[in-house]
Structure 1
Amino acid sequence: QSFIPLYCAFLRLQLLPRARCLFDEPIQVKVAGLKSYQVVTMKARSTDERWVLFNSSAVYRADESGEIDLNRDPSLSGSYVGVEPMGLLWSLSPETLHKHFTKTKALIPHVVKISVHEEGEEGQMLAEVTNERFLIADGVSRVPVSEGNINGVLFTPPEGPFPAVLDLCTVMSETRACLLANKGFMVLTVAVFNDKPRDIKELHLDPHQEAVDYLLKQPKVGSKGVGVLSRSKGGDVALALAVFVPGVEAIVWINGCSASSGFPLFYRKCRILSPLPFDISKAIPTESGASIIKHILENPLAEENKGSLVHVQKVKGRLLFVASGDDLNWDSKGYMDEMVERLKRYGKNNFESVYYPLAGHLLEPPYYPFCPSSLHGVVPFPILWGGEPTAHIAAEEDLLEKIQEFLKTHLSCDLAKSTSKL
């Protein structure tokens, strides 16, 4: 219990509409009972799944009535400035450098302690509340899948039929898949890398083809094909899946590559794509201790690298390309532009593109703690991911809506198809 001074005996710190909500739902933080124009420090803290502590803080001034509303009032200084209703959450930063907030398990809520303190870094706590942010909505089922070469988790909303989506994560995570299932999709999440990337010599498309087939056999799936959601290394694998495997109807490609980056790709025991080489010596060190690796990959259009290029012009399904202008991991905007130009050259119009000029590489679900730098799975040092924080967070909110709209449009459900499976 936090001690409340006498002059704050009626102080109230509220989270509206409620303190328990879904992970991607906004909350309204309000304080009442302060002195007129009193300056206080708002703080948030949370521990991730690896027990890394994250903190944020912002200075606010109450109005004449002694009230603060984060939906209305600007932060004067701290982890962010200006009117940022969810700033305390997205600006959560690790106590040690180069840590990415780890949230991969759907059944464990994201717990954030939000508090109001007297002015100053060491100001006494006046009140505290707990915000529990749940990944899985009521009625959504979570079933681990270990069948054949598939190693993943299936999320199914109640009732049905549903569009089917394969969430192709770079490394295993349930977060994005579960949040999408809350919106009315059946989602199977699998990883590109089930082992440490530096220990892997080649990648195979076959397990992902099995995952597509598995989804299409599910009784509650009503779409005739599967959508594939991908980011980063998952992007080029998703494109290859759409080229080589029947049943892929829609692909969301987020800040990926147009070639098989770093690894050869095999399908049915044949090598279908050569690896696009990279040169770690081209990494640019910065004062933060993290490096920029945007230009370590070789040019996929160079003659010697064309065997690594995904023939995106052969994709029959719909494509949604998403690129960030401040992606410091690799040149996702350049890869997107080249693929769009190639598709147009082949007379294709089965694509749309979204560009966020100030966003960075790690486009996460809304209100996920912004990560400027962290360790990388392939290179042996921390890297910068890029992104101007407020623009990056706005892009994440916008992208969630665009992904849902795109998948619902191009994975329309056929009730008769679903009924025939029962």
Structure 2
Amino acid sequence: MCAEGHRAAIRGVGFTQRDLATRVQRHDMALYLRARELFRINARKLCSSPCSSSSSSCGVQLRILPSSSCFFDEAVQIKLSGLNPGQHVELRAKHKDDKGVVFKASAAYQADAHGEVDVSRQPSTGGSYTGVEPMGLFWSMLPESPHKKLLKRDASSPVLIHIEAHRDGQILTAETNTRRFMADGVLRVPVRDGRLRGTLFIPPGEGPFPGIIDLYTLGGTVCEPRAALLANKGFVVFALAFYGYQDMPKTVDKLDLEYFEEGVTFLQMQPKVKKTGIGIISISKSGDLALSMASFLPNISATVCINTCNANVLFPLHYKDVVIPSFVGSTKRIRVTKSGILDIRDILNDPMEEEKDRATVIPIERASCRFLFIVSGDDRNWNSSFFAEQACSRLKAHGKANYDMVSYPTAGHFMEVPYMPHHPSGLHAAVSQVVTFGGEPKAHAHAQVDAWRRVQEFLKTHL
């Protein structure tokens, strides 16, 4: 149709060209106004939904400083901003470990006059802990399944702690803290050498570095997190299993010190390891093995024993033509706590009390290394304070001053690396029942931080 035809058609239905332009303009304006109103409605919904109230501020932000990624033994600062002044908020932490066990913690806070919460300077008023505890959301986590211990098998992958801010059942904001065990360049090498099993951690650089044998608890498996974190500090660390690991026997009725001697030889043969003496770090049952290694094997320069016994516990220990019998105590001394679980602290009495038990005491006066005994006053696994004091007294009686002892009065048995959740109770392999391990959670957490610092200083000084 030509232009004239268009004009005729418009005139025929009663429109002028100006009328059409006006109507189109009005229609466009109506669409614009409707779109603007829809945007405003959606914006209000976007703001009110996470804050769960029209009186709450939008743009709530959770920051983990200095970075959301850090090493496991490092503290972080958790800050919230964008809240209303005085607003109450709940922080929640959650982690699923390598066995699928979920660990959780929570804490209640109130925003300051600037609408901020800084966990490093403001107190929690309720939840899993109270008071000013910068890392409370980490060490206070408890398992949803009772009596479970946080498990981390492979230190090459991090632990992820998911942190959320809640109010009135709504999530305001969330962030994840990636807590790594291995620094860039650290090598993790699984070891299957003859009958030796375990994991070797080698720091970057030419070296040579001090070498450390890392021994864990009853069960004989390895503790990769501690070994990896020590490798970050400039040590070559061999986390050595001694039973119940991979293809090793699940149970044993005796232990062979020559196996541990093989472990020491293997470590010293590594190209990046200093040819001078090595160190040992141990906890619980492995502590008496560490004492035996220091007493009978050459080239041991420093030994850390965490909550151990000075007698050879549970299994006879064989070394060449020497046999140290096992110290087993009496189950008659088991008590039952108010919560219905066992307290086995006094199963083992004084190993020097009876003639038949004295042969179980490890002759640490033979050792030429330095010893660091770390003990918990509320260790309910056994009386580690008594045993450490007896060990130090034995050394002193033989004219030696090659020992230090550090005591934490209200800490429990499982003294782990910093910020590892407190493990107050669990299934004990020796009695096949759930037992209490003791410890006041907050004091235990602080003890772990202090002990970790002392362990590093001790090993650096004497290796």
- Quickly name the TM-score band, shorter chain normalised: over 0.9
Cα RMSD of the aligned pairs, angstroms, is 1.7
Higher relative helix content = 2
Amino acid at match of 2:227: A
Q: Is contact 2:83-2:111 (8 Å) kept?
A: yes
Q: Is contact 1:31-1:68 (8 Å) kept?
A: yes
For residues 325 and 225 of structure 2, the distance between their equivalents in structure 1, rounded to whole angstroms, comes to 31
Out of 171, 184, 190, which is 2:234 matched to? Answer: 184
Deviation sequence 1:177-196 (CA, Å, 0-9, x none): 01100111000001243369
Match of 1:124 in 2: 170
Out of 314, 319, 324, which is 2:366 matched to? Answer: 314
2:439 aligned counterpart, secondary structure: coil
Q: Is contact 2:256-2:318 (8 Å) kept?
A: yes
Q: Is contact 2:243-2:250 (8 Å) kept?
A: no
Amino acid at match of 1:376: H
For residues 57 and 273 of structure 2, the distance between their equivalents in structure 1, rounded to whole angstroms, comes to 55
Match of 1:416 in 2: none
Q: Is contact 2:165-2:173 (8 Å) kept?
A: yes
1:180 aligned counterpart, secondary structure: helix
Deviation (angstroms), 1:209: 0.4
Match of 1:162 in 2: 209
Out of 103, 121, 126, which is 2:152 matched to? Answer: 103
Match of 1:417 in 2: none
1:383 aligned counterpart, secondary structure: strand
Match of 2:112 in 1: 63
Deviation sequence 1:199-224 (CA, Å, 0-9, x none): 32111111110111111111111250
Out of 384, 393, 401, which is 1:349 matched to? Answer: 401
Deviation (angstroms), 1:109: 1.0
Deviation sequence 1:234-286 (CA, Å, 0-9, x none): 10000001111111111001100001111100123x45210002323322112
Q: Is contact 1:32-1:66 (8 Å) kept?
A: yes
Out of 327, 330, 337, which is 1:279 matched to? Answer: 330
Alignment of 1:401-416 (within 5 A): 401-411=453-463
Q: Is contact 1:262-1:278 (8 Å) kept?
A: no
For residues 67 and 296 of structure 2, the distance between their equivalents in structure 1, rounded to whole angstroms, comes to 47
Query: More deviation in 394-403 or 215-224?
Result: 215-224
Match of 1:415 in 2: none
Matched, 1:201 2:201: no
Match of 1:295 in 2: 346
Q: Is contact 1:197-1:377 (8 Å) kept?
A: no
Matched, 1:81 2:133: no
Match of 2:224 in 1: 174
Deviation (angstroms), 1:125: 1.0
Match of 1:138 in 2: 184
Deviation (angstroms), 1:332: 0.5
Q: Which structure has the larger Rg? A: 2
Deviation (angstroms), 1:334: 0.1
Matched, 1:399 2:451: yes
Q: Is contact 2:58-2:83 (8 Å) kept?
A: no
Matched, 1:210 2:257: no
Query: More deviation in 339-348 or 196-205?
Result: 196-205
Q: Is contact 2:215-2:223 (8 Å) kept?
A: no
For residues 376 and 277 of structure 1, the distance between their equivalents in structure 2, rounded to whole angstroms, comes to 15
Deviation (angstroms), 1:17: 0.7
Deviation (angstroms), 1:168: 1.1
For residues 272 and 319 of structure 1, the distance between their equivalents in structure 2, rounded to whole angstroms, comes to 23
Amino acid at match of 1:194: G
Match of 2:6 in 1: none
For residues 174 and 56 of structure 1, the distance between their equivalents in structure 2, rounded to whole angstroms, comes to 24
For residues 34 and 380 of structure 1, the distance between their equivalents in structure 2, rounded to whole angstroms, comes to 50
Q: Is contact 2:65-2:76 (8 Å) kept?
A: yes
Match of 1:147 in 2: 193
Higher relative strand content = 1
Q: Is contact 2:375-2:407 (8 Å) kept?
A: yes
Match of 2:63 in 1: 14
Deviation sequence 1:267-310 (CA, Å, 0-9, x none): 23x45210002323322112323211111124311211011110
Match of 2:20 in 1: none
2:446 aligned counterpart, secondary structure: helix
Deviation sequence 1:51-103 (CA, Å, 0-9, x none): 01111101101101110000000000110000000000111101121111112
Q: Is contact 1:149-1:210 (8 Å) kept?
A: no
Amino acid at match of 1:164: G
Q: Is contact 1:118-1:124 (8 Å) kept?
A: yes
